[in-house]
Structure 1
């Protein structure tokens, strides 16, 4: 494998030859996918098996050229890694290429109104009908569902099996009768999340990922990737273009998104954010404030430790099995510190929103978004419970025996996960 230095040189040459703002989004993303640069941290043949630092080199080079980033969203973050890990080779080759070139947008159909922290208590059901499954139920907190062509869906296929063993994982087609998506407006003013109603919607049996009844094991791969991703710094160049057939972005010029805000709110905190804070503190005369300097150093330290932690996970040296949970907890702490520090640097200007506000509104939007990381992907309290039980070996809360059939459990009252 090439070194980071060699990779940077290759990336520079490739971008010089290939980036063209007059290309359509679809054409540009197709070039990235063909070069295995859409998600270079994936294994071959989909990616280049790059480290996080190597992927960051690519992102930095793209930002310098103001090149549109690769397809964003849950297809890249969650669906592709899970499909590669668990799906048949036929299903991988049918689904993954359309994720990498942005032709299909994806969402996550996991949480339900009565099954969030207790995800395995889900009641959305799927019943076999020949070569298809008929799905009925409700999902909620479905990010980007209004633009999704597919969803990663977990549904109960055997209510007579124990709670964790009667679940199956599907690649679910969203564009069909029987699927209703209702956006949920947030305090940021956006509608990132949705509730989704499924009324006898259908999914081919060929779209089962893993084995029937083994969906909980597959879902844990998704959750591990999600928590690691939430806990890590962004390693892709920003992209305001939304993948898939619904948003209508594929035919627009790739260079036309330069001044547009990405669909995902600005909640990430990495080395770039720390540098912007230092610059802003210098401009506002706050850099000599000892408490500001102390918290800038504290934020830089936490970001660096997170990078080391994620690098250890990528290298296969994770020792406890709870690294993803620890990364997610640390991210909540980092975002809270960044929010408080950014607002202290801005002073009264932190109360103003919009592109004409101080910091271009970036810190203000992060502030509005800041409660989210401690909730989505499993709340901080859930992460601590998982670490306590699975890593530290602490006893679980009392509850029914593990082999109790799901239909015999008190619904939505069990504390076990």
Structure 2
């Protein structure tokens, strides 16, 4: 089965899925093989459940009469189908990456642009070599633009994802100490994320630039076309303000107060508003989009639980985002306890970075410091430190936190959100 032959069938489908549990009538099921499971064994059942077509990578499961087709690699076929589909699209595609704030920025951009356009965008965290193709394949004729998040933890990954999504506008949120092990240090992070710039430049596409970021300025110096924000000479100028725990943005006479905590979210707001203004969206509609966006994904999320204010930032963590979270949290009124989890994928720099974050936490004089994970435990065995969240939960059952505010911040693998019910 080749892409050109299959594409007309794809156009008839409602969606493409790789999850056999989510197959609905008129879907295309891409059956992936894994070490412990072969999804091709579900091909016949998928058709019986209403699947329009199934792609398998074991010849013995092929049944062309039932639209079960063999390919040598399901993954490569998925990616090639996405590339072919992208080549047919005539809509603007906005691609973004960065060390911190990708998902929040993507959500904000979608909220703003959706005020005027029918926008498809990356759902959840589907930002890798499988998620990006699935997002591209979810773009329908009614969509007028798309926002694609691209994640990476090693060199050449963004370069590859750009070949799939072919962004017309690109934005790098920032360059931070994330995935240091895979990228080979901070300079590797800069090089890897800048692959988005390399693609945009080589294809004469537009770059969105935060001109308060010296790395972004250096990497885009002399290049056009750009959309810029951050300085008096930029295309768009914004002022920061805050009320209570929340960060806001002022543009001219318009003030937009978000439901996000942390000044580090200011540039995320700036990026979304800049694109809204660039595409001619009414300022009042932009204001409404920002003020009604409610974070629900454990990123910069503020919730009340009993009499305690919880700051939930448990989806990811690296030294850059951890330091920013701690410095923001110290500004909260009342007593404060932090529960911080290990920062993963730091390689040889892990011990030094965890030591630095713990020293920062102590310097900020929080009433309580609780750590979770072996990295923090190893450097601070005498502290209130636990190897995992289950140990912490047992502790919290008989040691109630008395602070007015509690921050939970850690890498996804630590699963700090499990302790919320015990605070």
When normalised by structure 2's length, the TM-score is 0.26
- The answer to which structure has the higher strand fraction is 2
After TM superposition, the score normalised by the length of structure 1 is: 0.27
